[in-house]
């Protein structure tokens, strides 16, 4: 099934008890696109992303990721995606090199591949000198770039980034987004959540989440034109006050 659709969700919902964290969201993401989920804390972004990655099961609805059904074929989905969780997820007591080797290993890369990837990655990230330092010694911005790199080790076609720039200074955030553009230029699909309005402007397309629902979807320019606002921040405020 060769299409230009990387992710397709239809009426995807997730309940926790009586609480509806994600409420019948439907959307499509094209291959090579940078697709953003914008929403305040608690909007349901993480829950939505976890369903797409096969970490939790949807209560109802379905979704296709890289052409595979997340309900029935989650192990195939897992082979084709990379995921960087909102929580920082490298091992702090392992060195930079050991972290790369571990994540390479669990994706089944061979020793040779891991060796080459490690070398390439460390030079790309200018981390050669830090190779044998414990990860906890790295500044946060570096850690996040390292986490992103390890999530890309197995060359996935889609990468899910859950608030990748949380708590990072503006310069590091700019740098991080430069990398996201590079990834997209390689033809990979980037699915990114954020609650930073300025970051939302960088996305190719954007969906705005509010209380579990997608209340608006479109390119940043489309949205600004539609609501006749100068920035996404103003669009967002307008949308939230309306709902």
Ligand X SMILES: Nc1ncnc2c1ncn2[C@@H]1O[C@H](COP(=O)(O)OP(=O)(O)O)[C@@H](O)[C@H]1O
Binding residues for another protein (CB under 8 A): 53-57, 75, 78-79, 81, 83, 85-94, 98, 101-110
User: Which region among 71-79, 83-91, 94-102, 118-126 touches Mg ion (by CB under 5 A)?
Assistant: 83-91
Closest separation in Å from C-beta 62 to another protein: 15
By C-alpha distance, which of 46, 54, 32, 61 is closest to 205?
Answer: 32
Task: Report if residue 46 touches Mg ion, rule: CB under 5 A.
Answer: yes
User: Is there a contact between 205 and 221 (Cβ–Cβ < 8 Å)?
Assistant: no
User: Which region among 44-52, 53-61, 68-76, 110-118 touches Mg ion (by CB under 5 A)?
Assistant: 44-52
Q: Cβ-count burial of 33 within 10 angstroms (0-12 exposed, 13-18 middle, 19+ buried)?
A: buried
* DSSP annotation of 231: S
Rank residues 55 and 215 by Cβ distance to another protein and give the closer one.
55
Closest CB to ligand X: residue number: 46
39 interface partner picked from another protein, ligand X, Mg ion, none, CB below 5 to 8 A per type: ligand X
- For residue 28, CA distances in Å to 66, 139, 217, 220 come to 12, 36, 10, 16
Closest separation in Å from C-beta 74 to another protein: 8
43 interface partner picked from another protein, Mg ion, ligand X, none, CB below 5 to 8 A per type: ligand X
The neighbour count for residue 174, using CB atoms within 10 Å, is 14
């Amino acid at each position: 099934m060769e299409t230009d659709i990387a992710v397709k969700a239809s009426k995807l919902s997730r309940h926790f008890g009586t609480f509806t964290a994600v409420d019948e969201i439907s959307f499509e993401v094209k291959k090579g696109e940078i697709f953003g989920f914008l929403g305040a804390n608690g909007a349901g972004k993480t829950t939505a992303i976890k369903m797409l990655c096969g970490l939790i099961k949807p209560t109802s609805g379905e979704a296709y990721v890289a052409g595979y059904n997340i309900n029935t074929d989650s192990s195939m989905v897992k082979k084709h995606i990379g995921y960087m969780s909102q929580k920082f997820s490298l091992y702090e007591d392992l060195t930079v090199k050991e972290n790369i080797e571990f994540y390479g290993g669990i994706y089944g890369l061979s020793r040779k591949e891991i060796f080459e990837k490690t070398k390439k990655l460390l030079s790309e990230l200018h981390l050669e000198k830090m190779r044998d330092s414990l990860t906890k010694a790295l500044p946060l911005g570096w850690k996040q770039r390292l986490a992103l790199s390890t999530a890309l080790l197995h060359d996935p076609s889609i990468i899910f980034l859950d608030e990748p720039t949380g708590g990072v200074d503006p310069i590091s955030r700019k740098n991080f987004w430069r990398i996201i553009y590079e990834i997209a230029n390689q033809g990979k699909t980037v699915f990114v959540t954020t609650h930073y309005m300025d970051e939302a402007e960088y996305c190719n397309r954007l969906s705005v989440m509010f209380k579990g629902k997608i209340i608006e979807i479109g390119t940043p320019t489309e949205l600004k034109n539609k609501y006749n606002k100068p920035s996404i921040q103003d669009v967002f405020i307008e949308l939230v006050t309306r709902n």
